[in-house]
Amino acid sequence: MSGPRRPLVAGNWKMNKTGVEAREYVARLRALLGDGELSCDVAVCPPATALEATARAASGSAVRVLAQAVHEAEKGAHTGEVSAGMIVGAGADGTLVGHSERRAAGETDDQVAARVRAALDAGLQVVVCVGESLEQREAGETERWLTGQVGAALAQVRADEVGVLSIAYEPIWAIGTGRTATPEIAQEACAHVRSVAAATLDPAALRVLYGGSVTPDNAAGLMAQPDIDGALVGGASLDAEAFAAIARAA
């Protein structure tokens, strides 16, 4: 531990990489990170089809493997969905929940709450994502929106789960746009997320990550902010060199 909150740097591959590509990537990442003690936790989030190959390739290393989404039901007629038990069975360690790209496809606050609960019940780590649109920011609604999203996401979470749940603040206007939030804007929003989450979770122990156009060039400035405990990286995580550089910046 490098402090009360060990940073987490997670790479969300989104709809990229086959199992073979994932294996090659993880081998490269392991070589880049080396065997020494890392100063942060590192995770990759492959698509469901590559979860098992990624988990095998990461086995015995410090690299953790998270799914990108989970369904709240244990099993049943939910075509195309993946349960928490299946993620465990694939050898993964956790899952993202409530990514804005999933919310845009219809995932509701209630589903996010149920999916967080299902993942935690299965013993998975959770990174739950929140964030406002550009419209909401420009209308001055960011804090109110984040308050609602965080409150809903944590509705079924217990205080003793703070060690296995992180919140990623990902402003939608910064995702995949190259328009990174400034460290000041990201800090302000992450501090707000932490203060809202404090109704359920010890704010001193909760990890709050920033995501949205994080690169090797801007990662250190973002993660130096007092309320930013790591990064959820999309595009830049597809390249093992760039992702390792971001992890080293933590």
Site residues (CB under 6 A) for ligand 13P? 12, 99, 170, 175-176, 211-214, 232-236
CB of 223 to ligand 13P, least distance (A): 14
Supply the DSSP string of 160-224, one letter for each residue: GGGGGEEEEE--GGGTTTS-PPPHHHHHHHHHHHHHHHTTTS-TTT-EEEEESS--TTTHHHHHT
Is 21 among the residues known to form the active site? no
Helix (H/G/I), strand (E/B), else coil: 238: helix
Residue from 52, 72, 101, 170 carrying the catalytic annotation: 170
CB of 161 to ligand 13P, least distance (A): 21
CB of 86 to ligand 13P, least distance (A): 21
Smaller CB distance to ligand 13P: residue 12 or 187?
Answer: 12
Catalytic residue among 52, 71, 72, 99: 99
Closest listed residue to residue 166, CA positions, set 10, 2, 60, 16: 10
Catalytic residue list contains 188: no
| Angstrom distance (rounded) from CA 131 to CA 189 | 9
Least Å distance, CB 99 to ligand 13P, is: 6
Q: Compare residues 90 and 172 and give the one whose CB is closer to ligand 13P.
A: 172
Q: Which is nearer to ligand 13P, 18 or 177 (CB)?
A: 177
Nearer to ligand 13P (CB atom), residue 203 or residue 211: 211
Burial of 184 (0-12, 13-18, 19+ CB in 10 A): exposed
With CB atoms as reference, the residue minimizing the distance to ligand 13P is 234
Contacts of 43 by beta carbon, 8 Å cutoff, 6+ apart: 8, 9, 10, 11, 63, 64, 65, 66, 93, 94
Please give the positions annotated as active site: 99, 170
